[in-house]
Amino acid sequence: MSHIVIMEVLWPLIVLFSAGAAHSHKESPTRGLSCVNDFVRNVSCTWSGSPVAPGVDCWIHGTKQVWLFVYPRRDSRIIIRSCKLEPHESSPPGCRFAFENQDFNSFEYSNISLECDGKLLENLTMYKPHKHIKMNPPGVPAVHSTANETFISWSKGSPLSIFFTVLNFQVQIKLKKQMWKEVSHLSTQEQHLKIPGRQPKGHYQVRVRVSPGRHHSGHWSNWSPTTSWTITTRAR
């Protein structure tokens, strides 16, 4: 007899955060500006320094050097992208900007700065994107359950850098009544996981996160949306 599988998607609150600051401007003692990127074109920054007073206009600016090939010359130019620092209820203020159609690589660096009312508060010089990667979360897990096993699969997440050939995934599975912090992680480099059918009856939930594999360093992504299913029978 097959299990009855009830699928529902629970979207977790996605919080912008980052860990580890790059080199800070020598005149900035707070070192509160921190930025991560998906190693494609998107950058997410937060400010954990001195609180910004209401009404103060703060912007984060990022620069990127791009090369133009016009035969027989090879010229470069600097492009600038900016975003307005916005407050968040459960995390430090921050914002995102993107270098459209200009993917990152392992050999470049950028400068990222925070200015409030035209005054420079902090500058991350020589920011190396490949050392501050935080990938986009995997897609919604798909669950197929039979009497003998439960098969869970997921997509890699998008956009995805062409330089990522190996990915590390962490999977959490729990009963609905449990807290996520109570369960351990299952690690894999595959995009699927098989669980034996000898599981207790109950309402289960699963979520997945990802980080870059070999030759790249980074943080774990945000967790994927959560998928739930119900096991009504057990394998004998």
Whole-angstrom distance, CA of residue 212 vs CA of residue 95: 23
Q: Which residue has the higher pLDDT, 122 or 215?
A: 122
Chain position carrying tokens 């500006």: 33
pLDDT in tens, 129-180: 999 999 999 999 999 988 788 999 999 999 999 999 899 999 999 999 999 9
- Residue-level pLDDT at 234: 62
- Residue-level pLDDT at 76: 81
Q: Looking at this protein, which amino acid is placed at residue 154?
A: W
CB 88 within 8 A of CB 94: yes
Residues 6+ apart with CB under 8 A from 229: 3, 5, 6, 7, 143, 145, 150, 203, 204
DSSP one-letter string for 89-158: SSS--EEEEE-TT----TT--EEEEEEETTEEEEEEEEE-GGGSEEPPPP---EEEE-SSEEEEE----S
196 pLDDT band (50/70/90 cuts)? confident
Q: In the structure encoding, which two tokens stand for residue 136, read together?
A: 């986009």
Q: In the structure encoding, which two tokens stand for residue 73, read together?
A: 């010359």
Whole-angstrom distance, CA of residue 114 vs CA of residue 126: 15
All domains of the chain in start order, with CATH:
8-14+134-231 (2.60.40.10), 33-131 (2.60.40.10)
